Amino acid sequence: MKIAPSILTADFLKLEEEIKSIEQESDYLHLDVMDGHFVPNISFGSHVLSGLKRITNVPLDTHLMISNPIDYIKDFAGINSSFITIHVEANKVKETLDLIHSYGIKRGLSLKPKTSIEELKPYLSELELVLVMSVEPGFGGQSFMVDQLDKVRELVRLRDEHHYNYVIEIDGGINFNTAKLAKEAGVDIAVAGSYVFNAKDRNEAIRGIK
């Protein structure tokens, strides 16, 4: 299982140093973009992220928790992210996924804990990533919702049955114990924010999860 530390819990006054402190063991850098409308919190936008590629070779994994992602895909395409993930509860899902694809970026689709997997089904054949939220989106440091692993198991089943190409990512409340459950359910990439950034030895924490 790959690990994508979320920089949401990093100290933004020394972001470069913070990224250097985890990049040795990180498979992706997970970037949580929040608009204060789709979720009750505001984080950062493409301008803040635009220099990341100059300071790290770790591939970027962008998670857009915004209501109208179509208006911002051009800006986020400019940061050179490997994946851009939008939410199925956002506006203009199909058009936005097509736009992400037109930039040669891998398309991700996420769902909130209360959203049924049925909502994803029309899009699964065209996705490179499905992101299962294991907390209510908006904040780091929440507890893992173990019932969301049923969605992971169903996504594995659907992928096998229809030969889909997506990887399965899980996001929220990942730590040493919950990562094991995620791996057993079939997760390919686990996002870990507070567990990594609050650890004394961050690379050791990531190695521990792996």
Ligand X SMILES: O=C(CO)[C@@H](O)[C@H](O)COP(=O)(O)O
* 32 among known catalytic residues: yes
Interface segment toward ligand X; rule CB under 6 A; list 47-55, 95-103, 176-184, 188-196: 188-196
Q: Do residues 48 and 55 make contact, with C-beta atoms less than 8 angstroms apart?
A: no
Catalytic residue among 11, 27, 32, 160: 32
Position 118: which residue type? E
Residue 173 assigned to a binding site: yes
Q: Name the 3-class secondary structure at 32.
A: strand
Q: Do residues 61 and 83 make contact, with C-beta atoms less than 8 angstroms apart?
A: yes
* 4: β partners: 191
Rule CB under 6 A: say whether 8 interacts with ligand X.
Answer: yes
Q: Which is nearer to ligand X, 129 or 135 (CB)?
A: 135
Rule CB under 5 A: say whether 171 interacts with Fe ion.
Answer: yes
Residue listed under structure tokens 């490997």: 82
Rule CB under 6 A: say whether 172 interacts with ligand X.
Answer: yes
Rule CB under 6 A: say whether 135 interacts with ligand X.
Answer: yes
Q: Which is nearer to ligand X, 145 or 164 (CB)?
A: 145
Q: Pattern 117-146, binding to Fe ion, x per CB under 5 A?
A: ------------------------------
CA distance 64 to 86: 5
Q: Which is nearer to ligand X, 140 or 186 (CB)?
A: 140
Q: Name every residue whose Cβ is closer than 8 Å to that of residue 84 and which is 6 or more positions away in sequence.
A: 62, 64, 73, 76, 77, 100, 105, 106, 107, 108
Between the CA of residue 157 and those of 85, 109, 162, 186, 197, what are the distances in Å? Answer: 21, 17, 9, 10, 33
Least distance (Å) between residue 142 CB and Fe ion: 11
Rule CB under 5 A: say whether 63 interacts with Fe ion.
Answer: yes
Q: Name every residue whose Cβ is closer than 8 Å to that of residue 72 and which is 6 or more positions away in sequence.
A: 45, 46, 64, 66
Position 127: which residue type? L
Interface segment toward ligand X; rule CB under 6 A; list 18-26, 71-79, 114-122, 185-193: 185-193
Rule CB under 6 A: say whether 108 interacts with ligand X.
Answer: no
Q: Tell me the binding residues for substrate.
A: 6, 63, 138-141, 171-173, 193-194
Binding site for ligand X (CB under 6 A): 6, 8-9, 30, 32, 63, 65, 135, 137-138, 140-142, 171-174, 191-195
Binding site for Fe ion (CB under 5 A): 32, 63, 171
